[in-house]
Structure 1
């Protein structure tokens, strides 16, 4: 298959692009490079442009043909979204609409969309299923849910098939340390903990008064390669069945912040200095996935289900790239 990968110079996009090419699929990356890295693209054709520009994305489809689009490009910080609602809606919704219109004009009928468990907000019942109440608690979550609904209507009106993949917490890197996580600022617990440990600086835990065994919040951590594999399987599912789908992508188990930090210490053989501070706004006590539907529909099975196996890959990346790309 031939794919357009929007946001393909970013963390999950670049590793998905690597996986697609390793399986002999053709790819083109479209990225505005605000959060992307040229070093993560390799020899893939990179088109620098902005989805908020109709002309930028239209010109791609005028020159190239694709079997499917994998749509990663988005602003994705829940906290930041509450300070910058216009930017998040403009980027994540208007940009997505420009992409859909370009697809429609050039008869590209399949899109794999990076959605999020943030569409569920603060779930009252765990694990989270695809039928759990939709109640986003941030502008970011709302922007992703709004685009899910737009995709539903573009399917009804124009026949564009879609996979809505609701991620939980992406983490890890390629096992050889060549591609990994390099954000500015970095907000994800595993890379932040590793950087603090290497620098000999304290790691700040946001809250130790959650309703959990050790008082820290619980999340579902899914390895980025398992996410990438699900994107390819979703594209194959649509190609075979001509049907859309919505699935959760998590390992189906939650780990607390303290469990993460202990695993980081175990993998690195180093001791973290831990400081506790107050909770961040909007952090639920716990959230983890029921991934049964993804397994049944896609024949997908996460390979990295143990914390140490995930963190070993993140550690390999940080050892090779202590300052990122």
Structure 2
């Protein structure tokens, strides 16, 4: 009973720290949110496609914690982060991939730069300098880990997270991971499509993770550049059954084939065709099942590979939800 009363007290305490206020102006709506640590102000403009965000530490509302611009789906366009002492920490532009950090606040910055150069060299060796210069960009996505032994075990370890390209850390890492975006067209980039894991001296580590995009493709073409064209791909897909009146999408993806090898997979370019959608409800959980035809191409040559049956499932209820992304449809 005492535990239950204590839980209610704690819940009420934290809820009492939260408040939200909306102010309507002639051209926008301003939302002001306060919790136990931050005061957040977001201005949503009626005739513009973006939101202006700014947050302050609640103890000192003159001390900016973060500021940035988001689209109306709350996807970040640009961002600046500050320390609790008000020092500028880093800035990121999510559209261009540009990032700058306050090197004086990152004790391991030079090590990170040295290791990133090794990761860059691996990409250049496998895909060439032209592909690296024109199709690849680093978006400040670097992670550092320290190996920690598991209690009562001599041979088993786990990776302790130390920090990242935008989160300072002081310990020397045993593992570093770098992720890169790859360009699909003049205006489209696919983030986290190349993943490289290095040990503490910069040697490449084969990562058997079947979820993330680690590894390389053995490209046989002499000129390593993407020759994919959306319009041509649509015409080829039509010849293979695509209905141009359906809802279409297109994306670059990484397909893992041999996770235990250096050449672990391949790039694929896909055109998705939405075939059907079905909404359902199970107890308090709602969901939507979407079925697709997916037309798969080799982006290096533009050649059609195959047509696949795929589906995606989205489920949600109060305070929880899940999404599968595209997965094989075996029905």
Tell me, yes or no, whether TM beats 0.5.
no
TM range (shorter): under 0.3
Q: Select the structure with the greater relative contact order (CA < 8 A; seq sep ≥ 6).
A: 1
> Relative to total residues, which structure has the larger strand share, 1 or 2?
2
Per the normalisation by structure 1, the TM-score is 0.25
Per the normalisation by structure 2, the TM-score is 0.24
